[in-house]
A and B are shown apart, each in its own frame.
Chain A
Amino acid sequence: QLQLQESGPGLVKPSETLSLTCTVSGGSISSSSYYWGWIRQPPGEGLEWIASIYYTGSTYCNPSLKSRVTKSVDTSKNQFSLKLSSVTAADTAVYYCARHSWVGWEYYFDYWGQGTLVTVSS
């Protein structure tokens, strides 16, 4: 059974960089059939796609966040990571990592991590 687990600090100061890692177990991040994504959810609000990465390093990012986002993948550790710079209180959210299929007309997230709350506060 595929499992994803987010890790990273729960508290980040304004203007600093938020760093999160997702560790994948029960399957290979190098699978040719899937991308790996980040989604966030501010408290009491809806879901927002942040970015996706393929094991080869190809990446895609929400245009509204693109200037602040850095994405990477480490196939040797079966992990992928997200860095979000210059954070503000508006970046406070539960951050999820997820596996997604992207083939032809289909694009969906089938396995999700449990999520990690990141609070931006001094």
Chain B
Amino acid sequence: QSVLTQPPSVSGAPGQRVTISCTGSSSNIGAGYDVQWYQQLPGTAPKLLIYGNSNRPSGVPERFSGSKSGASASLAITGLQAEDEADYYCQSYDRSLTGSGVFGTGTKVTVL
């Protein structure tokens, strides 16, 4: 029941830049709620990558950046590396469902 839509997959060669979109609505991202991004490596728990639309937690490389505009958000990975191959999820809050943290559909990033 994901309410945030992401492309199923994106790919790029090492060193390239890739972007992942996250489209929401007027009850979540468009209402002004922050967007977060999580990286999930195979067989592991999700890891917070970006919070508050564009902030990186300590230890997250600068090649990961986030932005938000209107009811959408984007995650950019510059200088793509082999270890970036993972699933990425956006996440926000939806005011139509009190207390509800909503996740995106997820995007698989493949490093060619």
**Which residues of A line the B interface, CB within 8 A?**
37, 39, 46-49, 52, 59-64, 96, 100, 102, 105-110, 112-115
Task: Answer whether A113 and B45 are a contact pair too, CB < 8 Å, given A64-B1, A106-B51.
Answer: yes
Task: Answer whether A112 and B45 are a contact pair too, CB < 8 Å, given A47-B89, A107-B93.
Answer: yes
Of B45, B48, B104, which is within 8 A of A108 by CB? B48
User: Chain A residues with Cβ under 8 A from B91's Cβ?
Assistant: 47, 108-109
Q: How far is the CB of B17 from chain A (nearest CB, A)?
A: 25
User: Chain B residues with Cβ under 8 A from A110's Cβ?
Assistant: 48, 51, 57
Contact count A vs B, C-beta below 8 Å: 73
| A108:B98 contact, CB within 8 angstroms | no
Q: How far is the CB of B96 from chain A (nearest CB, A)?
A: 10
Distance, CA A10 to CA B9, complexed state (A):
31
24 contacts between A and B (CB under 8 A): A37-B101, A46-B89, A46-B106, A47-B46, A47-B103, A47-B106, A49-B100, A49-B101, A49-B103, A52-B101, A64-B1, A105-B93, A106-B33, A106-B34, A106-B51, A106-B52, A107-B33, A108-B34, A108-B51, A109-B38, A109-B46, A110-B48, A110-B57, A112-B47
| B102:A49 contact, CB within 8 angstroms | yes
Nearest CB in chain A to that of B87: its residue: A46
**Which residues of B line the A interface, CB within 8 A?**
1-2, 32-34, 36, 38, 44-48, 51-52, 57, 89, 91-93, 97-106
User: Chain A residues with Cβ under 8 A from B45's Cβ?
Assistant: 96, 112-115
With most chain A CB atoms within 10 A of its CB, the pick from B32, B101, B105 is B101
Of A37, A63, A107, which is within 8 A of B34 by CB? A107
Q: How far is the CB of A114 from chain B (nearest CB, A)?
A: 6
User: Chain B residues with Cβ under 8 A from A62's Cβ?
Assistant: 97, 100
Distance, CA A49 to CA B2, complexed state (A):
10
